[in-house]
Amino acid sequence: MSAEQVVEHVTCLGCGCACDDIAPLVRQNRIVEARNACPLGRAWFGDGTVPQEARVGAHTVSLEAALTHAATILTQARRPLVYLAAELSCETQRAAVGIADRLRAVLDSATSEIAAAVLAAQRRGRAAATLGELRQRADLVVFWGVDPAERYPRYTSRYAVGPGGLQTPSRTVVAVDVGDHRGPGDAEARVIISADVEVGALGVMRAIARGHAPPEVPALRPAIELARRMMQARYVALVHDAEPDGTPADPDRAEGLIALAQALNGPTRCALSTLRAGGNRSGADAVVTWQTGFPCAVDFSRGYPSYRPHDGAAALVARREIDAMLLIGSPGSVPEPVARGLASVPTVAIGPYASAAAFEPAVAVDTGVAGIHEGGMAFRMDDVPLPLRPSVAGPPAAAVVVRDLATRLVSP
Amino acid sequence: MTTAQRLRITGGAVYDPANGIAGVVQDVCIEDGKVVTGLPVGAPRLDASGMIVMPGGVDIHSHIAGSSVNHGRRLQPEEHAVDPVPAPRLDGPDGGGGGPARSGTGGTIPSTFATGYRYAGLGYTTVMEAAVAPLFARHAHAELDDTPIIDAGLFALLGNDEYLFRQIAAGERARARNYAAWVLRAAGAYAIKVVNPGGVELWKRGAPPRNVTGLDDPVGSTAVTPRRILETLTDAGNELGLPHPVHIHCNALGQPGNAATTLETMRTLAGRRAHFTHLQFHSYGGGRGKGWQSGAKDVIEYVNAHPEVSVDVGQVMFGPATTLTADAPVEHLLHASSGRKWVNVDIELETGCGIVPYAYKEKAALAALRWAVGLELFLLATDPWRVVLSTDHPNGGSFLSYPELIRLLMDRAYRDEQIKRVNAKLLKGSALADGLAREYTLNEIAIVTRAGPARLLGLTEKGHLGPGADADVTIYATGGDEATMFATPRYVLKGGTLVVEEGQLRRAPAGRRLAVRPAYDDAVLRDLKRYFDLHASVSFENYPCAGSA
């Protein structure tokens, strides 16, 4: 084996774009350069080094001893929580849901962070497209309160704006600024909508798309004009960011966007593109759905899945209802309200950087990062499944560790 | 009774139409997962006296796994909440999940483990997932990995594929065939599926009428028409020697007067082996502005007279359903007319996806017509080997409604009672309303639910109980009505493992994947690689599923 090697066609999970053209240059089991990756992707790959420990409390132990202890904690718990954090392959997620089922635990994931959007889509459905379809068809791209350059750097160059499409000789980009949420700075046109009228504006735009006459409200004039422009396009890509960003968004925004995108399929074609973060978050949504029938916030305590979308991990943690936790995935990706609970109950952490978690897990088992050290499958933000190609060797694979733990659990 | 390497099923009346056995009391001997000619005298026995023994059921067309199915699942928490599926009490691990038995939820789109358990509980041991965009094949396989017991294959959607269209436009017949072979391998698929050829592409293009209106409508190029797409893929499937011919969902699904389109499609392909799916949704008379009526008689008479044609019915059953199809323009119409929630996903370079949850009501005239048309197709068919039982699960209703459908076919008195309950407004002139006396025999049911579909799929080790067959066996207790009998088999064996015992699911071995690996000329790869580099959003190298292409 040569000292230096380029691994081709690697899928990056640094964000939900899941660019699969990355070519990490590897020297002595270190990533020297993640070729083709954006800055966010380069940071995600790093040099490929991760901690490789198994610990009980502060003591380094064998993997065997760590998992035995973990099994004891989990089987003795009365109300355990299994949380699927980021950086897991679908294979690991599948095994993890099996553990939650067996423990009659509550199961949750990052999907609950976008519960408003999930619930809106369950009420209405959605009009969507894969990212490649936007590239082929969209002649009008509307960024609704988001500039993808910040959190999804290659979204425009790979999918929605840059590459020419088979059905689009040209396309126009419109930035919609909603309060502090700004669209791309280099858009051809800019529409400014104040945050307090956003949901109302979406409703009016939908009504126009459905053939109603627009109201004479000056504050809504930009939105009305935008609706007309969208109706004149052949295929509209309406892009929004589902991920939280610190500024609370109106919970009705997601439903307003869904309804508008659906209504535009009367006069023209429209797809709503929902930006999602990386680490195979979309995979957790899909896997939990196919194994339980619900996308997140599943309670197995009755011996079968019950859906608790308004009473997920964060709420249970806040009520101190949880008495043990199995965190699978990267501890750093756990949202703050759930992370608070990690310190207060015995926690088994399995995943990349588990031993370096900010809280003190009762048991920590470091694993590799899906897509850097481990293969398997992950989902792009538009649910397109992609293979993961490991570039460097690392700690034990998460899928193997989680399956091993599963075999040690005695039915309650 | 445990899982035995050897088992002699004794005393049951065997229905094995592929081997010409109709209700003969004889032993079925099983060894190492296969049916064998005989066993030593001391071999373990299963007493099936007074019971009916059939091969395991084979579903030729169902939607149970993959991206579109999962969108439909996610869309309906309400139906999952009211149909919990606690983990069955198994005697061993679930071979699908690799651990203990799994809980789940049901409804029209059950969770994966529940899907495996429920199909097996119904005595079905082989199921074809009938519509997978090759781009999403990897996802479909992962779901099937979590669907225990049943052997499963998937059909790859090709009827609106950009690369295929380019080959048709360029007259590159051989390259189209090579491409079809490559896609089947890349997707780990079993057959070629065509859905509304050309129509989905026009829906995605957006310009009115957003669908094809006839077999000669141009789709981009004038050289690319539904007719050319159908001919190209039908010939490709037959020339590749695939075990199952091209599986066709015709244009104009669900529209009044579409029987004419269906018949024209069949005539276009006359003399070529082809399978026409959910024929019920394509057998309406009348027309736009002329109303609705049954067109079943004309369509099934053509099928009866043409041995190269096979069909499955796609029966509508009253109750909840989820309409879910690659035929996205149809779902947009259904959403617009019903106001129900709606998912649409345009899938790059390949196809579309549309989903609308629905319910067929007895008192709704159109639902009653669809129900009647399906029954007419069944009852007027002369060759059961070419007319398969299906509900296009979950489009016409859940697979769990098969037993009720079987009763409708076997019991005329029961059927006549049901006819009286439905809205008869559109049934004028229908053969069903005029009174069809036919009653399916048990042997015919064995044909349309296992022997026929297995033969049409080219699954030589399925659908029969001759030596060398997979030991997939379903044993029914007699006594109740047909619906009860078929809903609750007493015993089910899958590959020789007793999965249902005394009516209870006891074991859940992993199912096998059924896939074809047709040969193709490598020359296509260079051109494909260039095409992917220019137009696809995933790398050519990342497109095939592991170990397939």
Q: With contacts defined as CB-CB under 8 Å, which chain A residues touch B70? A: 286, 289-290
- Please report the pLDDT score of residue A325 as a whole number: 97
Q: Is residue A22 part of a domain?
A: no
Smallest Cα–Cα separation from A380: which of A257, A295, A262, A285? Answer: A285
Q: Is residue A378 part of a domain?
A: no
Answer whether B142 touches A (CB < 8 Å).
yes
Q: Is residue A163 part of a domain?
A: yes
Q: How far apart are CA B324 and CA B68, in angstroms?
A: 7
Nearest CA in chain B to A285: B74
Q: Nearest C-alpha of chain A: how many angstroms from B543?
A: 8
Nearest to A293 among B105, B336, B535 (CB): B105
Q: With contacts defined as CB-CB under 8 Å, which chain B residues touch A106? A: none
- Please report the pLDDT score of residue B426 as a whole number: 96
Residue B181 reports pLDDT greater than 60: yes
Which tens digit of pLDDT belongs to each residue from B361-379? Answer: 999 999 999 999 999 999 9
Answer for the pair A313, A106: CB distance below 8 angstroms, yes or no: yes
- Cβ under 8 Å to A: B residues 340-359: 341-349, 355-356
* Confidence band for B3, pLDDT divided at 50, 70 and 90: very low
Q: Which two tokens stand for residue B104?
A: 């789940």
- Please report the pLDDT score of residue B1 as a whole number: 40
- Please report the pLDDT score of residue A160 as a whole number: 83
Average pLDDT over residues B35-61: 97
Taking the alpha carbons at both ends of chain B, their separation in whole angstroms is: 42
Nearest to B99 among A9, A124, A406 (CB): A406
Asked if A134 and A55 sit in the same domain, the reply is no
Smallest Cα–Cα separation from B134: which of B401, B436, B434, B350? Answer: B350
Q: Is residue A28 part of a domain?
A: no
Average pLDDT over residues B521-546: 96
- Please report the pLDDT score of residue A299 as a whole number: 98
- Please report the pLDDT score of residue B4 as a whole number: 59
Residue A343 reports pLDDT greater than 90: no
Asked if A307 and A256 sit in the same domain, the reply is no
Q: Is residue A32 part of a domain?
A: no
Which tens digit of pLDDT belongs to each residue from A80-98? Answer: 999 999 999 999 999 999 9
Contact B538 A271 (CB under 8 A): no
Contact A133 B105 (CB under 8 A): no
Residue B548 reports pLDDT greater than 60: no
Answer whether B100 touches A (CB < 8 Å).
yes
Q: Nearest C-alpha of chain B: how many angstroms from A120?
A: 10
DSSP state letter for B499:
E
Phi, psi of A158 (to 5 degrees): -90, -30
Q: What is the mean pLDDT of chain A?
A: 95
- Please report the pLDDT score of residue B2 as a whole number: 44
Q: Is residue A380 part of a domain?
A: no
Which tens digit of pLDDT belongs to each residue from B281-330? Answer: 999 999 989 999 999 999 999 999 999 999 999 999 999 999 999 999 99
Residues forming a β-bridge with B35: B30
Nearest to A289 among B74, B99, B113 (CB): B74
Least confident span in A4-18, A265-279, A298-312, B84-98 = B84-98
Q: With contacts defined as CB-CB under 8 Å, which chain A residues touch B332? A: 265
Mutate to test the interface with A, among B344, B532, B540 (most CBs of A within 10 A): B344
Q: Is residue A351 part of a domain?
A: yes
- Please report the pLDDT score of residue A411 as a whole number: 53
Q: With contacts defined as CB-CB under 8 Å, which chain B residues touch A268? A: 206
* Confidence band for B547, pLDDT divided at 50, 70 and 90: low
Size of interface A-B (CB pairs under 8 A): 193
Average pLDDT over residues B247-272: 98
- Helix (H) / strand (E) element for B412: namely helix B412-421
Q: Nearest C-alpha of chain B: how many angstroms from A294?
A: 6
Nearest to A234 among B206, B341, B344 (CB): B206
Q: With contacts defined as CB-CB under 8 Å, which chain B residues touch A309? A: 77
Average pLDDT over residues A199-223: 95
Q: How far apart are CA B128 and CA A273, in angstroms?
A: 31
Residue B522 reports pLDDT greater than 80: yes
Nearest to A98 among B97, B205, B341 (CB): B97
Q: What is the mean pLDDT of chain B?
A: 96
The residue range of the domain holding A366 is 50-113+279-370+394-407
Q: What angle do CA A148, A11, A95 make, to 5 degrees?
A: 105
Q: With contacts defined as CB-CB under 8 Å, which chain B residues touch A159? A: 537
CATH number at residue A91: 3.40.50.740
Q: Which two tokens stand for residue B397?
A: 């209703």
Q: How far apart are CA B409 and CA B439, in angstroms?
A: 6
Average pLDDT over residues A232-243: 96
Q: Nearest C-alpha of chain B: how many angstroms from A375?
A: 11
Residue B42 reports pLDDT greater than 90: yes
Mutate to test the interface with B, among A289, A380, A407 (most CBs of B within 10 A): A289
Residue A1 reports pLDDT greater than 80: no
Mutate to test the interface with A, among B68, B69, B70, B74 (most CBs of A within 10 A): B74
Q: Which two tokens stand for residue B161?
A: 């594929």
Q: Which CATH class is domain B57-472+508-513?
A: alpha beta
Residue B209 reports pLDDT greater than 60: yes
Nearest to B70 among A11, A235, A286 (CB): A286
Which tens digit of pLDDT belongs to each residue from B418-446? Answer: 999 999 999 988 899 888 999 999 999 99
Answer for the pair B456, B244: CB distance below 8 angstroms, yes or no: yes
Q: How far apart are CA B426 and CA B293, in angstroms?
A: 6
Q: How far apart are CA A167 and CA A129, in angstroms?
A: 15
Answer for the pair A81, A317: CB distance below 8 angstroms, yes or no: yes
Which tens digit of pLDDT belongs to each residue from A309-338? Answer: 999 999 999 999 999 999 999 999 999 999
Residue B37 reports pLDDT greater than 80: yes
Q: How many CB atoms lie within 10 A of CB A287?
A: 32
Give pTM, 2 decimals. 0.98
Residue B491 reports pLDDT greater than 50: yes
Q: Is residue A272 part of a domain?
A: no
Answer for the pair B161, B352: CB distance below 8 angstroms, yes or no: no
Asked if A137 and A190 sit in the same domain, the reply is yes
Q: Which two tokens stand for residue A311?
A: 């009473």
Asked if A296 and A338 sit in the same domain, the reply is yes
- Helix (H) / strand (E) element for B375: namely helix B365-380
User: How many domains does one find in chain A?
Assistant: 2
* Confidence band for A412, pLDDT divided at 50, 70 and 90: very low
Q: How far apart are CA B265 and CA B257, in angstroms?
A: 14
Asked if A255 and A317 sit in the same domain, the reply is no
Answer whether B143 touches A (CB < 8 Å).
yes
Q: What percent of chain B has pLDDT over 90?
A: 94
Asked if A291 and A234 sit in the same domain, the reply is no
CA-based max dimension of chain B: 72
Rounded to 10°, the helix B173-187/B523-535 angle is 70
Asked if A109 and A132 sit in the same domain, the reply is no
- Please report the pLDDT score of residue B96 as a whole number: 81
Q: How far apart are CA B385 and CA B440, in angstroms?
A: 13
- The SS3 of residue B145 is helix
Which tens digit of pLDDT belongs to each residue from B79-112? Answer: 999 999 999 999 988 888 888 999 999 999 999 9
- Domain-wise residue ranges, chain B: 57-472+508-513
Contact B346 A94 (CB under 8 A): no
User: Looking at per-residue confidence, does B3 or B115 come out higher?
Assistant: B115
Q: Which two tokens stand for residue B406?
A: 């079987």
Contact A128 B204 (CB under 8 A): no
